[in-house]
Amino acid sequence: MGLPKHFTKQQILKAQQNTLSNRAAARYLNCSYNTYKMYAKQYIDESTGETLFQKHLNPSGKNIPKFLPNKGKNPPLEDILNGKTPRHSFSAEKIKNRLLNECVLKSECYKCGFHERRPSDMRQPFLLNFKDNNKNIVFDLLYNEISKLNHGSITNVSDQWICINLKGKNIYDMLSTACPFDFTKFKVNKNSTTQTLVNHIDVIIHHKEENDLNLFVRRSFSEHLWLWLNDSAKFI
């Protein structure tokens, strides 16, 4: 499990200033609704004496546009990306799916061309690399990139993953003892990427330099993988 997120009063207030409901504020902060609710209830608005959560309640959905996919009322993607439609009415996952389904983005990595499916669930992984640490500008960045035809996928899962760097001339021999992937071509192609299983753990492997790899693994499996790597390295 990852460490819980902490939000200051200023962060909660900023999220509320840019949204029309508590659920939208949680999406703005890129956290679960329950995490947002916990912190919003801790902080008090001095002018009213209410908690920030109470103050931002909007049970009637005032000023929130109602989009019904089954009745053809979804707004155009361009309106969402350029801000004409409130972007926080939609999750990043829904935006990504529309970009893929409407063929705005290809189902592949735009850096290395990776398009294989995970053997565990046959889905294709897409990671978003931010140009800075401000995750809330993702839609602005995405629109600018699309408008310039420099596409990229938009699901931010960085908090869910751990990166383990491996270096050494025997790293491929070690991984091959518990990985079905054939590294023959992979290890001679710099910046190549693949997704596979290592010791039954789903990982993304990035070839940085010669004998230099990054392994991306979900945080919940990272300790198990790290222990296996340490044990296996003793026998290579």
pLDDT, tens digit (0-9, with 9 covering 90-100), for 15-67: 898 888 898 888 888 788 888 999 999 999 989 999 999 999 988 777 665 55
Residues 6+ apart with CB under 8 A from 100: 107, 153
pLDDT grade for 165, boundaries at 50, 70 and 90 = very high
User: Residue 172's pLDDT is what?
Assistant: 93
Q: CA dist 174 to 180, 186, 194, 211, 217, Å?
A: 12, 15, 17, 12, 17
Residues 131-158 have a mean pLDDT of 49
First to last CA, the chain: 30
Percent of the chain with pLDDT over 90: 28
Contact 176, 170 (CB under 8 A): no
Q: Which of 157-161, 180-184, 185-189 has the lowest mean pLDDT?
A: 157-161
Mean pLDDT of 167-184: 92
